[in-house]
Every structure is written in structure tokens, then in C-alpha cells.
């Protein structure tokens, strides 16, 4: 059974940083695509970042976080991380880790490419 557990969320001031962690079990993170999505109150869940399972480990980011967020994985620990720098109030949301087998850029950005999700971790950025 695949399980994803996020941690690392919290309250931070604008301009600050947080690192989210996603611990995976039941699936090897180096052999699947791992993604981060977020959902703010009253809004739909949106793509944030992903790292593919290709040999090149391609990374993908939404335009809103590109240059500020970095996705990475630790194959030995079977963990995925989201380093978030220069946080803004509009980054406030519940952040979800997800796993799937998407391979194309467009598909990886869609929630339909992922078959397992974590429970989410709250990130709140104050102005």
C-alpha cells in the first residue's frame, strides 16, 4: 500500500522560507513522478512542482513559484522535498504530495497524473 506523509508546514512571514518533506512508503520515489500541489481556501487544487522518474530527473514548476521553489528527492531515504524561499502571502495553502507515473510536461502538471496523495500540510504566510 502506498502512503505519503507530508511535514514541514507552518506559519512564516513574507520573505521567509520553509522546507516541506514527503515521506513515501510502498513506492520508490526514484521510479515514479513525484509532485506537489496546493489548495487555498475557496480555490481549486493547483500544480506547484514535480520531479519525473526519467533518468534525467526533470523538474517542473508552475510559473508562480519558478525561481523561488525547488523540488528534490533523496533516493536513499525515499523522501521528496519542496524548498520554498521568498514566500508570499499568496502561497498560503494546504500543500499536498502526490505520486504517479506521468511523463509528459503537460500531463505531469495535471492532478489526474497522480494516483496517491498525502493528507496535506498547512503553509501560512503572513504579510
Instruction: Convert the pLDDT of each residue in 30-75 to its tens digit.
Output: 899 999 999 999 999 999 999 998 677 899 999 999 999 999 999 9
How far is the first Cα of the chain from the last one, in angstroms, to the nearest whole number? 40
Q: What is the CA radius of gyration of the chain?
A: 13
* Confidence at residue 57, expressed as pLDDT on a 0 to 100 scale: 82
Query: Mean per-residue pLDDT for 117-127?
Result: 97
* Confidence at residue 117, expressed as pLDDT on a 0 to 100 scale: 98
Place of cell 524561499: 85
* Confidence at residue 54, expressed as pLDDT on a 0 to 100 scale: 63
Encode pLDDT of 76-118 as tens digits: 999 999 999 999 999 999 999 999 998 888 899 999 999 999 9
Place of cell 504566510: 125
Residue 46: is it exposed, middle or buried by C-beta count within 10 angstroms (0-12/13-18/19+)?
middle
What is the rounded distance in angstroms from the CA atom of residue 52 to the CA atom of residue 39?
22
Amino acid at each position: 500500500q502506498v502512503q505519503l506523509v507530508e511535514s514541514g508546514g507552518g506559519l512564516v512571514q513574507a520573505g521567509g522560507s520553509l522546507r516541506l518533506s514527503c515521506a513515501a512508503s510502498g513506492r520508490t520515489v526514484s521510479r515514479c513522478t513525484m509532485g506537489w500541489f496546493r489548495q487555498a481556501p475557496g480555490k481549486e487544487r493547483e500544480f506547484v512542482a514535480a520531479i519525473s522518474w526519467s533518468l534525467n530527473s526533470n523538474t517542473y514548476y508552475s510559473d508562480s513559484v519558478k525561481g523561488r521553489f525547488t523540488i528534490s528527492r533523496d533516493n536513499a531515504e525515499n523522501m521528496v522535498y519542496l524548498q520554498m524561499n521568498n514566500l508570499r502571502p499568496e502561497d498560503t495553502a494546504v500543500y499536498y504530495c502526490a505520486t504517479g507515473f506521468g511523463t509528459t510536461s503537460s500531463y505531469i502538471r495535471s492532478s489526474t497524473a497522480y494516483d496517491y496523495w498525502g493528507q496535506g500540510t498547512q503553509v501560512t504566510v503572513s504579510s
